[in-house]
Amino acid sequence: MEKPLILVTNDDGITAPGLRALVRYMKEIGDVVVVAPDSPQSGMGHAITLDNTLYSKKVTIDTENGGTEEYSCSGTPADCVKLALQELLDRKPDICVSGINHGSNSSINVIYSGTMSAAIEAGIEGIPAIGFSLCDFSWDANFEKAGDAIKRIVREALDKGMPQGVVLNVNIPKLEGKEYRGIKVSRQARANWKEKFDKRISPMGKEYYWLTGEFELLDKGEDTDEWALANDYISLVPTQFDLTAHHAIQNINNWNLHE
């Protein structure tokens, strides 16, 4: 039987250790093609390139076991998926996996995430997709600990299928000296960033700003991704790209919108 074709992408760049780990895991499951940004694209959300040209080139990074077909792209994570599907792949992938991101994409962070936007772009095109993130921003983070769980989730998605219009947002806690308690299907926690700008003056006398802030959890529920992570579980949130607030339609229909 033909092996599943797995498209691998990310937002930290094609050389990021998290992506290299994900490539190794996916090669145990199927045929892998990598299309990823040529430089870090964190926080790009679902941005696409409209006012500039896109460049892509075939690169050789992984030389083990015959190597991996890989392409670097000058665009955003969403651009990478679009280019892969329209130009670079000779058949539709069976699944798209994005990550492993250096840092959490739980709760409100999913809105800003290039990692998840790449997965969502694949989902829009009808391809099962999963974004993986490790709650550790360091470049040399330990991605090996979660390898078995990541492979289990991908194999289950390929075997069982995924609901239409849904992609999975998987976040993995950083654990030292202990094991994960399991994988918990969760909802997105309500949270926000209390943001502020650190205003500075450049040597040329111009004002500039660094965005800073603190994460503010507004949700005490024990069924959320933040609760799962805080309690040593891997969180798995089914995420949809239909942004309609269906529960609000009846309420809005009661407004006097017609004269």
Residue 248 lies in a domain: no
Residue 213 lies in a domain: no
| pTM for the whole structure | 0.93
DSSP 154-187: HHHHHHH---TTEEEEEEE---SSS----EEE-B
The CATH code of the domain that includes 38 is: 3.40.1210.10
CA distance 139 to 127: 29
CA distance 144 to 51: 39
CA distance 129 to 82: 14
SS (H, E, C) 232-253: CCEEEEEEECCCCCHHHHHHHH
11 labelled as ligand-binding?
yes
107 labelled as ligand-binding?
no
CA distance 34 to 96: 10
Residues across the chain? 259
- The one-digit pLDDT tens for each residue of the chain (259 residues) are 689 999 999 999 999 999 999 999 999 999 999 999 999 888 889 999 999 999 999 999 877 766 899 999 999 999 999 999 999 999 999 999 999 999 999 999 999 999 999 999 999 999 999 999 999 999 889 999 999 999 999 999 999 999 999 999 999 999 988 999 999 999 999 999 888 899 999 999 999 999 888 889 999 999 999 999 999 999 999 999 999 999 999 999 999 988 7
Residue 216 lies in a domain: no
Query: What is the domain extent for residue 90?
Result: 5-188+221-243
Residue 166 lies in a domain: yes
CA distance 113 to 135: 13
CA triple 49-54-55, angle to 5 deg:
155
Residue 211 lies in a domain: no
Residue 48 lies in a domain: yes
Give me 195's structure tokens: 């943001």
Number of domains in the chain: 1
Residue 49 lies in a domain: yes
39 labelled as ligand-binding?
no
12 labelled as ligand-binding?
yes
Query: Which residue, chain included where needed, has tokens 């339609």?
Result: 249
